[in-house]
Structure formats: C-alpha cells, structure tokens
Amino acid sequence: MHATNLATRRLPDIAPYQRPVVFVVDDDVAVRESLKPLITLEGWRAEVFGSAQAFLGYPPAKVPNCLVLDTGLPDASGLDVQRLVAHRLEMPVIFIAGYADVPMTVSAMKAGAAEFLTKPIAAGTLLNAIRQALARSEAALERAAEINVIRGRYDSLSHREREVLQLVVSGRLNKQVGAQLGISDITVKAHRGNVMRKMRAGSLIELANIATKLGLAPA
C-alpha cells in the first residue's frame, strides 16, 4: 500500500481537529508507515498505534471516524479489541489480516465489522472501505445528536405529561387516557397539547416516531 499516485492532491482546507479520523492499529511498523500518508493525503487525520493497549488508552473521536484493525496484535486479538469497542457505534471497524480463516471472518462480520480485508491490500480497495466506514460513522453521529436533542425535550416534560405521551402514542383516545389516569378529558387535552409543543411534533404520527427513537415502550 502506497500513496505515490496521490502526491499532488490538494488537501481540504479543514482544521486538523475537524477532519474525519482513521485509527490504525497494527504491530507492523511498515504497515503503519505506509498507511499514515495514504490516509493523510485523502484529507483525513491518521492516528496510528502499534498495540491494542495504546489505542484503547486514546480518547474517542468526536468527528466521523473508523478503525483499521489488524487481527493479530501482540497484546490482544483483533476480535477482542472489536468486542471492547462495540459500544462505539460511531466507529466502524475494518479488519486487515495477514491471513484469515472462515470462522474468524464470520465472527468479525457477525459482530458488526464494516469490512474484512486480507493483506496485501490494494490502496484503492482500502480507501473505498474507509470512505464507506466514515459515511456510516457520520450517519451514526447524526443519529446520536438527534437523539440527544429529543432526549432534552423529553426531559422537559412533567411526570404527568410523560404518562400522557406514552398512552397517546400507544393508541389511547383522550377519554381512555383520562379514565386510566383519573383526570378529565379537558386536562388530557391540555397535557397532550403541552407534549406536542415541547416535543415539537406536528402530528400524532410524528410524536409516535419520536417515542420510538427514544425507545419508549407502549403503555
């Protein structure tokens, strides 16, 4: 893998800390030295590590990012590292392997790996895999940001408004909500209006979609 054909490319005028990050974990220094300029010349930021421990001690990125991970590291297997970072949904994993058997490949893909490549890897193949992984990362970050905004709105609801929200999105009519909560229809309508306004929902369907994104179970 080399970057000689990209040497004249002009990098995007973006501050380094705002650029997508490609983490590379491989104990082979030659691989790290070849991948870093290849990644950098694409306008991404490369962070390279020779061991799992060094990578796991590095703070998560707040921009689109992905992990290019060797399967055989000196201090842990690539599959072990994948399990340890499984909660980082914004960081797709691209495995690169000196060799790979079917069980290893299947395990990695079942655990959510974005790609599994076997060395030697053509530069174009790896860059395409990284582009797709970064696109997935960007989408995951956007979803997380949306959920944070919605969660903030939900937190602004009173306890009674939350009860009304769950009953309404589960299909209860105002009379049924009132009967279950022991309040009048007029009070239900007032709470329902407050819920719609605070959650910025333009319709009941939109409110139901918001509740689904928050993982609220039907009442």
Q: Same structural domain for residues 103 and 80?
A: yes
The last residue of one of the domains, among 122, 146, 170, is 146
Give the pLDDT confidence score for residue 14 in this predicted structure: 66
Q: Is 202 inside a domain boundary?
A: yes
Report percent pLDDT > 70 for the chain. Answer: 92
The domain that holds 166 is classified in CATH as 1.10.10.10
Q: How confident is the model at residue 141 (pLDDT cuts 50, 70, 90)?
A: very high
Same domain for 199 and 166? yes
- Residue 61 domain flag: yes
Q: Do 8 and 91 lie in a common domain? A: yes
pLDDT at position 94 over 90? yes
Could you give the number of structural domains in the chain? Answer: 2
140 found inside a domain: yes
Q: Looking at the structure, tell me whether residues 134 and 161 fall in a common domain.
A: no
Residue 4 above 50 pLDDT? no
Residue 174 shares a structural domain with residue 72: no
Mean of pLDDT over the chain: 92
- pLDDT tens readout for residues 96-118: 998 878 888 999 999 999 999 99
The answer to whether position 151 is within a domain reads no
Residue ending a domain, choose from 120, 146, 172: 146
pLDDT of 37 > 60? The answer is yes
Tell me if 219 is assigned to some domain: no
pTM of the entire predicted model: 0.81
What region does 58 belong to: left with phi over 0, alpha with psi -120 to 50, or beta?
Answer: beta
138 with 161, same domain? no
Residue 80 has pLDDT above 80, yes or no: yes
- pLDDT, mean of residues 27-43: 96
In the predicted model, is pLDDT for residue 3 greater than 80?
no
Token look-up 């201090």 returns: 75
203 inside domain: yes
Residue where one domain finishes, among candidates 99, 127, 146? 146
Domain boundaries, position 23? 4-146
How many angstroms separate the Cα of 162 from the Cα of each of 32, 206, 218? Answer: 52, 16, 12
Whether 105 and 10 map to the same domain: the answer is yes
pLDDT confidence band for 167 (50 / 70 / 90)? very high
Indicate whether 137 and 195 sit together in one domain.
Answer: no
